[in-house]
Structure 1
């Protein structure tokens, strides 16, 4: 069967290449003084004594944040997920990935402890999980500092994630890491560049018409895994001139239902490309949409308004601003 016409934007690199490896970064101010730095992380003060030298990260977006700040030499290793090769192949920081030790696909206590880190950067459901025992408290117990991804901060008293706008979460993490590693000028430069990039893309949305309804399709076992309003895709879609059909879900990445997705009749569908097994390929997801009894009749599927972006462009990370540009260009090309 011939697959529908689909724009697969693998690189998402146009406006982030200038932030890739090779950028000149000032010497961390705390490296000589060993001064303590305190930042706010997930609503609580986090104090770091001196500049971390042995950093372990989990997930490609988190790791790319370190690379964008010019901190590749601080990493003693990173872990990721099966299928990460697709993210790395499209990354503006591919050379940094190639020279940073890969600790495997499993973010476990054993893997982290063996790397002997002094700083561990992950997030809830981005590595930190009670079920594995690898939590911020455990990281502290081995003498390392845990830094939590802000997009994945838990809402007080719940397991729901997201405490601010997703792009604000990105800017917050960049600023915090800038302070911790003594590269705040570099962080501020990136934040200004990203804000400008997003603003220009948002300014191109057509006036006088309703935003296009967009469904973020990550995966599906029984029901679709998608983006609530606190995950990066929701704001990426909004800034691009669209509207996430599940923006009313007070959570980050979460599960919805096919019935609700079809009832909201998306006019475009954004597919997460992470390639972890044939069932998760972009082509397999397209076929799933085309053959689903409810989704096949939606405007997006009937008109082949389907766009695939890499996983690392859609979780919190430095590819998010360019993702706004790419989604905006796609929606404009479809008349939205």
Structure 2
């Protein structure tokens, strides 16, 4: 989105400040080594690598703006709501009143239910935007780490969304590591940036145990049901490749992810591929304008799918969007899906 020509007094003040200081005290390390500045408080400066870029922080960011539910809840899970200026996300991401972070949602301003823009970040006096490629960042909408840097705002990119060419200039495919490893990577890096390493380590330990407990009860490899993730789409289905959250959720829960060979995160395939791979279970991603009930009605009435095992045997399972994108809800999602898959008998 092209910024409007009009600039408010507040905007001019922020831009003036950007000329004298880098957002959130962050610097891109030019020599590939941790930067240093004498006199920094506590553990600072610290350097982290994010999507192939090393950035040095001279202090913890104080006015973070997050985009989307999973990213926002990563901050909440780390107890960082006091470091946030607000969050941006649509209101189609489920019931936020039943989550462990209900209190944090009540404290942090909901800045917009529309797509994040550079102007929103400037109006919020953000010193860091935590978003991801196709989770807010995009060359087509004019908000990227590079464009934010020009106005003095730092960026942290969701690891699940890193481009396969990590400098961000290559193809559109996303994902550089297994999805749960991406979650742990972000928790570790953010723990370092905000000096809450202990909280991050404790969360990771808890999540790994939760997932291991669920995986221990998974069906034997020979009896694992095959699973297809259906996000949306009629002409072509949007689904998950090996680098999006559903891959690890399905696999750790005891399923065989039928699209595990796709080296991307969220991407489209042809219905003929779904039919050929004949999944035993279809998981519906519940969000957006099209309800899960309408998505299921489409799947069960779409003629090419009539002989697919999941449709014939009515094995269609609904999960919420926030469980399936990189988020602190992923471990519980593994447990819930594992419980369902244990009741699925194949062959």
TM-score (norm 1): 0.87
Counterpart in the other structure of 2:333: 323
Counterpart in the other structure of 1:144: 153
Q: Which of 126, 131, 137 lines up with 2:140 in the alignment?
A: 131
Q: Which of 111, 118, 134 lines up with 2:120 in the alignment?
A: 111
Does 202-211 or 151-160 show the bigger shift? 202-211
Tell me: CA distance 1:63–1:208, structure 2 relative to 1, closer, same or farther (3 Å): closer
Counterpart in the other structure of 1:88: 96
SS of aligned partner of 1:73: helix
Q: Which has the higher contact order (CA 8 A, sep 6+)?
A: 1
- Cα separation, 2, equivalents of 1:120 and 1:305: 40
Report the Cα offset of residue 93 of structure 1: 1.2
1:163 correspondence with 2:157: no
CA contact (8 A) 1:150 1:169 kept: yes
1:226 correspondence with 2:234: no
- Cα separation, 1, equivalents of 2:96 and 2:202: 24
- Cα separation, 2, equivalents of 1:215 and 1:235: 13
- Cα separation, 2, equivalents of 1:79 and 1:221: 28
CA contact (8 A) 2:70 2:327 kept: yes
Tell me: CA distance 1:64–1:294, structure 2 relative to 1, closer, same or farther (3 Å): same
- Cα separation, 2, equivalents of 1:270 and 1:257: 17
SS of aligned partner of 1:209: helix
Counterpart in the other structure of 2:73: 64
CA contact (8 A) 1:201 1:328 kept: yes
Once superposed, what is the RMSD of the aligned Cα atoms? 1.6
Report the Cα offset of residue 295 of structure 1: 1.7
- Cα separation, 1, equivalents of 2:236 and 2:305: 12
- Mapping of 1:1-336 within 5 angstroms? 32-33=41-42, 35-84=44-93, 86-104=94-112, 105-156=114-165, 157-207=170-220, 209-274=222-287, 276-277=288-289, 280-335=290-345
Report the Cα offset of residue 294 of structure 1: 1.4
Tell me: CA distance 1:309–1:209, structure 2 relative to 1, closer, same or farther (3 Å): same
Cα deviation digits, residues 38-61 of structure 1 (max 9, x gap) = 001012212122011000000100
- Cα separation, 2, equivalents of 1:179 and 1:140: 21
- Structure 1: runs of 5 or more not aligned: 1-29
- Cα separation, 2, equivalents of 1:260 and 1:284: 22
TM-score (norm 2): 0.84
CA contact (8 A) 2:225 2:344 kept: no
Query: Which of 1 and 2 has greater Rg?
Result: 2
- Cα separation, 1, equivalents of 2:326 and 2:244: 8
CA contact (8 A) 2:43 2:195 kept: no
Report the Cα offset of residue 32 of structure 1: 4.2
Report the Cα offset of residue 296 of structure 1: 2.6
- Cα separation, 2, equivalents of 1:117 and 1:51: 13
Cα deviation digits, residues 74-121 of structure 1 (max 9, x gap) = 11111113513x152442212211221111122112112111111110
- Cα separation, 2, equivalents of 1:258 and 1:208: 26
